[in-house]
A and B are shown apart, each in its own frame.
Chain A
């Protein structure tokens, strides 16, 4: 058996098709099998990442035996592999957290685990595929899973948030589809490397139209302003594990697709400036909105949008240091925001309003949970010695190196807003007067384990950032090396090594 990137997609699909049958043998298998699959995929990630880093060559896998431009190919480079691995690890932790999170009937539980696994598969597929239409198909898989999971509780607001997400998401996919069509009519191929190679023959007016179509469509998935109206509702109405999955997995896939299209496919003048400007607007507006929120999950959602704006700014600067910082921030955001969602949602567990005022005095009731939340809050605003500090620092240095001092000022100003609203919550947790009648729920053991792992990662990466920087340097190089990407996909060896 060859360990190869296609396992990321084929194995979860096989499991998803089999789960309804497994549930006839033993109902508990419905919950356990996805965990086993994700654990196996985490092991696959380790093996493949090791191989990629050691050989220095990306793994190019052909599907159905047709080489790159003719068939679909999967590209597992240090960049895509890094993202896919992060997503898989986070999915495993979120699965652990959602194991027995809430008591639901058997049939919804079955659907939940299928949909959750497909959410992960779709996002991983977006990242590792090398074919633009295949990316669209994976986007749709992710999208349908997200719509259904958003309204999983079948309550009023959940259904409404799901419907809203569905309308915006389908519009996004239509734009992407139109972009793919125009692109195909111009270059006659769907392989991303070949598109990139032939891109300079496309007339520039056409190029801009296509880029706008892609930026609109993918910007909706990447929560870029003003296309992010769906996000706060989807985050706050979906089940908590799904909320953290959105922050840790789905948004990352959206940002990846936007970055891949702008960095590799197009060489349009001004696209980077566009990213910076959209990033600044997204960052500033969402952080101000986050400050006004009284609902905890909506606040976290707006903060998440703001962080994505920050990521876009960093990518827009476009130098190696900035891309490195952006990738670091994506990693940090996945870890930290998941921790915040996981710990925060237990404070408002049985509480439909999810107001921040209800958190008052929870620090004494749940010291460990409050401690996790505090770590997350300190880390995400970028206080040393936590992981978030380093990514912010690298991006600031990159901005200063490019003498974008205005940008530095904006980022620092926004950081102050961030500090204000996160500290407000933490202060309420520890110093607020306890609300007696609030109904709460003791976290599961799996929840404690996954939260401890995340908190440990935040602290350890904070003290020894070298653990991840090696991967991040390779990833940033792989993203910026456009000709290397084209070469590897179209003319590379592409042989899979047997294990």
Chain B
């Protein structure tokens, strides 16, 4: 009975979606006139290279035009980490570290992890430093770094990232982001405004504050996700 109702509901939803998207032709340009922009997409494509000197338009949108969203997004991750910590909180006895991985993994994995780990960190840093030039940016770089730490958690039973360091990195990166915002408010009259010189397109040092913000985001995301993974891995249920 319940299943029948659900399938009926799904049919209605599916029909509504199909009906709606038949009016949204796939592959059709909805940008309008590019020379004389009328839609936000056209405006960003037109203005990003000349006015911001940022090669990657998506980065320009994420960090500058809609930087406020990104601030919110970073906050969502921050809140998820905080919520996770509060939901999975347990009183710890001093020095007790119980990890889900019970025994050390094989020698091969350990050696491999130790070799790859620095490479992953460098790759992550590369991705978020070049966020305004190539695909990728703070989020992707941060996630890559967190995966590196995950590898180490998997390989070594008692590998621990100091909680203190994570907190510091996370807080300072967040503060840097908001400070850049207030800097813009005080000196440019608008929160998050790009007040620095924008340099030359496709230079590493171009885009004004955009790389700074993306580096802050990268560090913050990396620290938060590592914290999330560690919390989850350290929470063990007695079976």
Contacts and interface: CB of A to CB of B under 8 A. Distances in A.
Contact of B78 (A16, A162, A496): A16
Interface stretch (A182-190, A259-267, A294-302): A182-190
A72 interface: yes
A70 B65 contact: yes
B65 A13 contact: no
A137 interface: yes
Interface string B19-48: 110011000001110000011111110000
Contacts of B67: 63-64
A270 B20 CA distance: 20
A115 B83 contact: yes
Given A17-B171, A107-B89, A65 B193 contact: yes
Contact of B189 (A66, A209, A496): A496
A393 interface: no
Contacts of A56: none
A159 to B, nearest CB: 7
A111 B71 contact: no
B98 interface: no
Given A65-B184, A189-B39, A125 B72 contact: yes
A214 to B, nearest CB: 13
B75 interface: yes
A159 B87 contact: yes
B193 A64 contact: yes
Contacts of A230: none
Interface residues of A, number: 62
Contact of B167 (A4, A20, A190, A206): A20
B175 A17 contact: yes
Interface of B is mostly: helix
Contact of B83 (A6, A18, A65, A111): A111
B131 interface: no
Contact of B32 (A112, A178, A188, A209): A188
B144 interface: no
A28 B154 CA distance: 37
Contacts, number: 170
A1 interface: yes
B75 A6 contact: no
B86 A115 contact: yes
B203 interface: no
A77 interface: no
Contacts of A108: 86, 89
Contact of B182 (A10, A71, A114, A159): A10
A62 B178 CA distance: 16
A21 interface: yes
B55 to A, nearest CB: 19
B66 A72 contact: yes
B64 interface: yes
A72 B188 contact: no
Given A1-B186, A10-B182, A141-B76, A65 B194 contact: yes
Interface in A44-95: 61-66, 69-72
B16 A134 contact: no
Contact of A154 (B41, B89, B186): B89
A313 interface: no
A114 B184 CA distance: 25
Interface of A: 1-2, 4, 6, 9-10, 13-14, 16-18, 20-21, 61-66, 69-72, 105, 107-108, 111-112, 114-115, 118, 125, 133-134, 137-138, 140-141, 144-145, 147-148, 151-152, 154, 159, 162, 178, 182, 185-186, 188-191, 203, 205-206, 209-210, 212, 496
Given A2-B186, A13-B75, A152-B86, 6 more contacts: A6-B185, A17-B174, A64-B194, A154-B89, A188-B42, A206-B20
